[in-house]
A and B are shown apart, each in its own frame.
Chain A
Amino acid sequence: MTLAQTDSSISEATDVPVRASRKPVVPWFLIAPALVIVLVFFGLPTLQMARMSFNLHVDQRLYVPGFTFEHYRTLFTNPLFSKAIWTTVQLALVASFFSVAIGYTFAILAWLKPARWRLLFVGLALCPLLISEIAIIFGWWMFFPKNGLLSQALLSAGLITDKFSLMYTEFAAFVGLVYVTLPYAFFILLSVLDGIDEQILESSADLGAPPLVTFREVLFPLTRTGLLVAFSQSFIWAMGTYATPSALGPDTLWTMGFLIQEQMLGKHNWPLASAFSMLLVIGVAAAMLLTRSLMSKRSAFHV
């Protein structure tokens, strides 16, 4: 699904020597459409965005050509924005921690259970992936409020006496965010576990180790890098997902994504929105590179 597989694809198949191409232009023809998409619609816009982030913003106009570091300074000095950056990072960290923890347990169960169960678990994990984020938001939006399912269910079960609302709380934002990132963590970790021979668990048990010891001594060390990869993937997704926290969380929960949209569509301040985006791009690229270096260490260990 994600970075976890990109690693091995770089290494070339060794059994068949890659055929020396008679016409070295052929591969470029084949890659051209993909490169055009990436360069024209991602590379070029990113460069323009980088340029835009230095433009001036005066008199409610979208932007005025110029050169200033003002927007970057604003990001870090204006408490509103710097708090948003901090909130985003914090939320993403905690959400990824939980999604990796849940995803790990989930993946181990799916890995250990017989094939029938496994299919069911995979199907379950596909749900958040195949359903639109907006539909998920709406689902939780009906669950948490005062007249929502949660409050109603607890009331009719007699567990509470007054209706209550968890809507527009950080907890709700959090539940939504973990829901969105969970499948990524799950599938990465499942693919890591699938690379492990299940018989090593049996041999560990055979040598006298009870399950928890086996986990600590065998399974955990083997999946440690996988956990880091899953974490960084969840983190990247959580950083960029802004609709869920902004729709489910409190009005004061401002994330970077939300502020980009706000500056772009609401305040029409393109330079500031661009500066924010550049910060996100750099953050994501850094997380990606970090993950890659982690993975190359892992593959060195395996070879």
Chain B
Amino acid sequence: MSEINLARQATLQQRLEPRVLRVLSWAFTGFLVLYILIPVLITLVMSFNNAAMIRFPITDWSVRWYADFFGSTQWMDALINSIVIALGTTAISTTAGILAAWAFERYQIPFRTFWYMLIMMPLFMPGVVLGLGVAIAFGGVQLGSYSFYGSRELVMIAHSLWAMPLVFMLMEATFRTVDYRVVEASYDLGGRPIGSFFEIVVPMVSTGIISSALFAFVISLNEFVMALFLTDRDTQTLPVLMWLSLRSAGTPRLAVASVILALTVFVCMSVIMLWYARQLRKVAR
């Protein structure tokens, strides 16, 4: 085949291909938007259904299931449990994760890779395995009258098995972006390590800290397999209650619970976005 022929063929291909690809990419985008939004929107719509049955088409709209949710002590208790456990998980995993990440970034640690893998390992373990393990190991353990099993604290720690490695990983990446000379400058001017950490390092990585804390919170709030293994009737979280009631019968109350769960995440994110925007404005004033 001569070079001219080749060139002509290429131009034809070059003219046709982009158009076909553009059409395909739009079609794909449409498919994806539908795929991701279907379960979200369907839940939102269903939560305003007046009927007691999940069935389409919806003929009667009301907020009665919201009233029902907020009126039910069982569901409200579950929501409160979820939030308390998520806050505890956030506190535990951010503290442990940030400290470990700082150590990994700034100090020489013998067998670094080994410790790194060890800390990261639980993040990749299925929830069912972690839940089962913690249940077997701490199911029967009691400290005086305090029993680990069924306590919120145990769930917090179990959730931290996912949340802490995630915080650790995100913070390690964040610390790596810090110009360490700035910290040295602080030492140099007489700042002590602990004081410098809080006054210099933490403000420089505040965005990373806030976003990893948010991830920890969301993971714990949404998790229900470990919680299923580790909670009893009094400490049941909202997702566990939803899972159990889905197994018996689905009602629009479940849709309301889904919406509330998602709203909690959404509100947290908005608060953080606002805070972040204010920080930005402050520095760029």
Contacts and interface: CB of A to CB of B under 8 A. Distances in A.
A and B directly contacting (CB within 8 A): yes
Interface of A: 2-3, 5-6, 9-10, 13, 16, 18-21, 26-28, 30-31, 33-39, 41-46, 48-49, 52, 102, 105-106, 109, 124-125, 127-128, 130-143, 147-149, 151-153, 156, 179, 182, 208, 210-212, 236, 239-243, 247, 257, 260-261, 264-265, 270, 273-274, 277, 280-281, 284-285, 288
Given A38-B119, A45-B136, A27 B25 contact: no
Closest CB pairs A-B (n = 9): A139-B39, A240-B126, A45-B133, A132-B222, A30-B103, A135-B258, A27-B107, A34-B100, A33-B96
Contact of A147 (B36, B56, B223, B225): B56
B106 A19 contact: yes
Interface of B: 7, 10, 13-14, 17-18, 21, 25, 28-29, 32-33, 35-40, 42-43, 46, 54-57, 92, 95-97, 99-100, 102-104, 106-109, 112-113, 115-116, 118-130, 132-138, 157-158, 160-161, 164, 168-169, 172-173, 176, 180-181, 218, 221-225, 228-229, 239, 242-243, 246-247, 250, 254-255, 257-258, 261-262, 265, 269
Nearest to A151: B56
A284 B262 contact: no
A296 to B, nearest CB: 10
Contacts of B168: 34
B54 A142 contact: yes
Given A42-B133, A142-B255, A247-B246, 17 more contacts: A3-B124, A21-B108, A27-B106, A27-B108, A31-B119, A33-B95, A34-B119, A38-B161, A42-B122, A48-B133, A130-B265, A132-B224, A139-B258, A147-B55, A212-B17, A243-B243, A281-B125
17 contacts: A13-B180, A30-B103, A31-B115, A34-B96, A34-B97, A34-B100, A37-B164, A38-B118, A42-B122, A45-B134, A131-B261, A139-B42, A149-B38, A152-B56, A210-B13, A241-B126, A257-B126
Contacts of B96: 33-34, 36-37
Contacts of B258: 131-132, 134-135, 138-139
Contacts of B55: 147
